[in-house]
Amino acid sequence: MTLATDYHLLVPTYSNDFNTCFYCGCIASAHDYAPPLQYLEFYLATREPSEFLQVPCCSECHDHLKACKAGTLDERRTFAKARLAKKYDKALTIYEMWTEAELATLDFSLRHSIEAGLKLGGETAERLGYPGFAYETAGLQHNMQHQPVSYFDVFGERFSTFREALEFASKAYRIPKNTLKEYFADNNNNFELAIQAIHKQVAEKEFNQQLKQQCAAFAKQHKQAVIFVHKQVERYLSENDDMTISEALEHLYQTRVKPQHPAKR
């Protein structure tokens, strides 16, 4: 079989998509092959999933896809976008963390650097969100499947982009963006779970600080070992979820510390 019969050229249906990279929407200057040319014999022999398409793409996506062995268009698009996201990770972070309004507070050199990151991050975000275009190949029409819009919910507020949701949640709940972003990733990519986890951690930290301070003050007042007081109070609290630190200390005083006066005869 010749190359001409092995691969079908992917041709945009509409003229405004001519010379456009199918993967990211930039200007196309090369062709990607699905599956890769060097693995053509493998795909022909094994009948692994493949589409035998010659795909217009930009030089950057073309370079990234040299490392991809996948044979289908969707797999190769996913691979290309993952590589773009990794390459421009710092710019994407700046784009997510900063807004134009916040730049006014910075000195010139830092503002210039952040502005460059914002621009590059915004461009990268557009490339990552590019859905492809309708195309024809081998006489058949292929329309792009409608991709459901992803929303980010923050306790009743809905946003179409991660950046907008992060900005709102950070201001509304007074949580640094970096912290919120980390917790978002660690809590099933869910802002509500992330915020709850942060608030829980803050509450636990405050509780432990109060526990330490009150136990230390009690131990000093009643001439007791701090470690003894702390352990006893922790035990009382674990046995009764409704008990407060003050109540636990009072219980400790009444049962273990309060001086015992001898009974009158």
Could you report the per-residue pLDDT of 2-34, keeping only the tens digit for each?
A: 444 479 999 999 999 999 999 999 999 999 999
Is it the case that residue 214 has pLDDT exceeding 50? Answer: yes
Is it the case that residue 108 has pLDDT exceeding 50? Answer: yes
Residues with Cβ within 8 Å of 204's Cβ and at least 6 positions away in sequence, in order, are none
Could you report the per-residue pLDDT of 114-161, keeping only the tens digit for each?
A: 999 999 999 999 999 999 999 999 888 988 766 666 789 999 999 999
Task: Label residue 263 by pLDDT band (50, 70, 90).
Answer: low
How large a percentage of the chain has pLDDT more than 90?
Answer: 82
What CA dihedral angle connects 94, 97, 101 and 104, to 10 degrees? -60
pLDDT value at position 139?
A: 83
Strands 8-9, 152-154: pairing is: unpaired
Kindly give the residue spans of alpha helices, DSSP state H, lying in 27-107: 40-46, 59-64, 73-87, 89-97
Domain ranges of the chain: 3-142, 152-257
Is it the case that residue 265 has pLDDT exceeding 80? Answer: no
Strand arrangement, sheet containing 53-57: 8-9, 53-57, 30-34
- Could you identify the residue written with the tokens 């217009």? 56
Average pLDDT, the chain: 92
What is the rounded average pLDDT of the residues 220-241?
95
Task: Label residue 264 by pLDDT band (50, 70, 90).
Answer: low
Sign for the CA dihedral angle at 157, 158, 164, 170 comes to positive
Kindly give the residue spans of alpha helices, DSSP state H, lying in 130-190: 162-172, 177-186
Cis amide leading into 35 (omega within 30): yes
